[in-house]
Structure 1
Amino acid sequence: MRHIINLIGPPVSGKSTIIRELKTLLPVYHVLAINDFRRRQEETTPDRETTAWNQLWLEALKSEYCIIESTGTSPHLGMILDRLWRAPGTNILTVALKATPRIRRQREEQRRWSDYQQLPHYEAPSGRPWRPVSGMSIAISVDTGKLLPAQTAALLFEQLPADFLE
């Protein structure tokens, strides 16, 4: 069986931070962050964006346990989840992380002062509210501004179905 945690949320909602904490609880899970696949591309074009998503999909097919990290707004995500869902023995659980606009602004300001490099991508136009790909069923939703990252990861871990735990 293949188990995929599709972890989505708007930029600066804490996805990478929560995943770091989750990895201590779920060490067998391989993290597939779309930004890692984007960084491998030599240039930022719509074709390279498609290539990055295809590479993520191929890695997910090889993995028995993985966490896919993205904003959840790309139509590419909907397509690869559909393809993965059709693969025999695949379970997909979507987790949405949310944070208030105030918390996200604070985190964005912290990023400005760090060496964080935001990658350009072709998902949602800036200035619009965050909305995941339509038709995506969200099983778990957590506000990351209310708990510490380790507490949020523990809460998510407790809510995972038993078959997602090794």
Structure 2
Amino acid sequence: MNKIFSLIIIFSFFSCAGNAQKKSDKAKTYKISKTDAQWKKELTEQQYYVLRQAGTERPHSSELNKIKTPGTFVCAACKTPLYETKHKFISGTGWPSFDRAVKGNVELDVDYKIGYARTELKCNTCGGHLGHSFDDGPQETTGKRHCINGVALEFIPKQK
């Protein structure tokens, strides 16, 4: 009886290791695709860490937190327009926060890097990691908070 019970436990353990954590064999192809060497040459060390390795910058370290001037925040890697100042808000988290992105320019993905599922935000043109989306944004608008690494963005003021 103990042998059967042991076999059942061992079988259960291996069956749980199935496909839940496996990624699809098909990696998404982005409009702008470069080698790691090309990205390393074009980006700063911190930009590469965040955009290409899904890192996170220190909170309160981005000058973009202070920007209130009308304009557009673009991807630091490929210059795709991602966010507008009019959708920016102070979240108190230490990272630039927006309640929505420029339609079609930010991809939502899922990551499990810290042990549970989070909604990851990526540039839809180059696949650069931007940050994460949470459901604790302004309730009077979308209720979303796009928590973005400032180093992943560049700001272009609106022309008068």
TM bracket (short chain): under 0.3
TM value normalised by structure 2: 0.23
Structure in which a larger fraction of residues adopt helix: 1
Structure in which a larger fraction of residues adopt strand: 2
TM value normalised by structure 1: 0.23
